[in-house]
């Protein structure tokens, strides 16, 4: 009998020890797995959090707000202690964020701000204004806007208006380009320059292609189109598809910007159909989020480097901003292949 009691006591102690050291759970909500960028973000996040000893509940919402709300609710009910949320619509999660607050769960907005709520604790992203600045400066230097006489014909695109980052991207680029527009050195023949008109809801490639098709009707008289400002690669792909379908060749192809260094777009850079893409190494962002999660769960000071910029409509959100760079035909190999982000085979062009 004493032996049985001793065995029971040991079992209880072992179970208690296992429970005490059970991996803490982190919920990671991504907007969609239909874009390469978010697949990579999710995979990097999960791998690095698991390597740090956390259990990860990673969910993709197929760009459906109701699905994302349900997924986050389930993360909370299933014991997540920290939530990392890349929202579809930054203003749509108020109710579920209140539920997180009620359960003392800290929330990190991931690369897209959670707006119009006090129930977000931190923001981890790249310097999104700088993304636009890089695109604007690239166009400035590529066309030598400071010195060339011009005028240069531009068309402008912006990202999804329900994504708070879209306005930062556009603002950064337009702050560089607007003085040239006001001076007449840049001409937008369509006349479409305000954010609401040039924005593409949902960042859709097909929608960008359709809009570019319409814009090209302004150039059937033979007017040269010199550049297209595109804030990201999904839009750039639609834009370049439209230009190629309209008969543009490498001899007269406009300078097209982008962001994310998606495989197809990087191949277009190699071939010459896209001039550049801002590179945001999601491995770096994931690593920073792991540090933030770790600090939260250990009750330590959470590392941030910006406490002034990102106002979500209710309060300033303490943020960590990673630095973006750009890839073009001259440096893509060093940035993307030599760093191990892609393999040689992945970027092989026909």
Written as tens digits, the pLDDT of the chain (350 aa) is 444 434 343 343 333 433 345 689 999 999 999 888 899 889 989 999 999 999 999 999 999 999 999 999 999 999 999 999 999 998 999 999 999 999 999 999 999 999 999 999 999 999 999 999 999 999 999 999 999 999 999 999 999 998 888 999 999 999 999 999 999 999 999 999 999 999 999 999 999 999 999 999 999 999 999 999 999 999 999 999 999 999 999 999 999 999 999 999 999 999 999 999 999 998 899 899 999 999 999 999 999 999 998 999 999 999 999 999 999 999 999 999 999 999 999 999 98
- Residue 273's pLDDT is what? 98
160 and 61 share one domain? no
Report pTM: 0.82
Q: Are 59 and 73 in contact (CB under 8 A)?
A: no
* 187 backbone dihedrals φ, ψ, rounded to 5°: -120, 130
Structural domain boundaries enclosing 57: 2-120+281-321
Residue 344 lies in a domain: no
- Paired tokens of 306: 């910006």
Q: Are 211 and 245 in contact (CB under 8 A)?
A: no
Residue 348 lies in a domain: no
CATH of the domain at 252: 3.40.50.2300
Residue 185 lies in a domain: yes
- Residue 162's pLDDT is what? 86
- Residue 17's pLDDT is what? 39
Residues 6+ apart with CB under 8 A from 114: 85, 87, 90, 93, 97, 107, 120, 312
- Residue 21's pLDDT is what? 52
289 and 272 share one domain? no
Count how many domains the chain has: 2
Residue 346 lies in a domain: no
Residue 57 lies in a domain: yes
Q: Are 200 and 228 in contact (CB under 8 A)?
A: no
205 and 82 share one domain? no
- Residue 28's pLDDT is what? 97
14 and 115 share one domain? yes
210 and 73 share one domain? no
């Amino acid at each position: 009998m004493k032996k049985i009691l001793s065995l029971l006591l040991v079992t209880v102690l072992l179970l208690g020890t296992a429970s005490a050291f059970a991996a803490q759970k982190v919920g990671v909500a991504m907007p969609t797995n239909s874009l390469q960028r978010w697949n990579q973000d999710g995979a990097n996040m999960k791998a690095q959090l698991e390597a740090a000893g956390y259990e990860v509940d990673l969910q993709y919402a197929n760009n459906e707000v109701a699905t994302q709300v349900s997924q986050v609710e389930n993360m909370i009910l299933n014991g997540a202690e920290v939530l990392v949320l890349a929202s579809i619509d930054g203003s749509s999660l108020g109710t579920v964020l209140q539920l997180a607050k009620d359960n003392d769960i800290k929330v990190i907005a991931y690369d897209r701000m959670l707006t119009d709520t006090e129930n977000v604790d931190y923001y981890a992203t790249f310097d999104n204004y700088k993304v636009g600045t890089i695109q604007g400066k690239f166009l400035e230097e590529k066309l030598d806007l400071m010195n060339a006489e011009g005028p240069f014909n531009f068309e402008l695109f912006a990202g999804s208006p329900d994504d708070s980052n879209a306005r930062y991207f556009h603002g950064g680029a337009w702050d560089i380009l607007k003085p040239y527009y006001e001076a007449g050195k840049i001409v937008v023949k369509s006349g479409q320059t305000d954010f609401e008109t040039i924005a593409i809801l949902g960042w859709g490639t097909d929608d960008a292609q359709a809009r570019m098709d319409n814009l090209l009707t302004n150039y059937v008289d033979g007017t040269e189109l010199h550049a297209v400002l595109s804030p990201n690669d999904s839009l750039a792909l639609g834009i370049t598809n439209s230009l190629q379908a309209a008969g543009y060749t490498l001899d007269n192809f406009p300078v097209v910007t982008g962001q994310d260094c998606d495989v197809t777009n990087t191949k277009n850079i190699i071939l010459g159909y896209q001039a550049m893409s801002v590179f945001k190494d999601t491995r770096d962002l994931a690593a920073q989020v792991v540090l933030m999660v770790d600090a939260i769960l250990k009750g330590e000071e959470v590392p941030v480097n910006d406490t002034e910029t990102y106002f979500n409509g209710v309060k300033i959100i303490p943020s960590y901003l990673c630095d973006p760079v750009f890839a073009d035909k001259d440096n893509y190999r060093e940035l993307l292949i030599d760093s191990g982000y892609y393999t040689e085979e992945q970027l092989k062009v026909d």
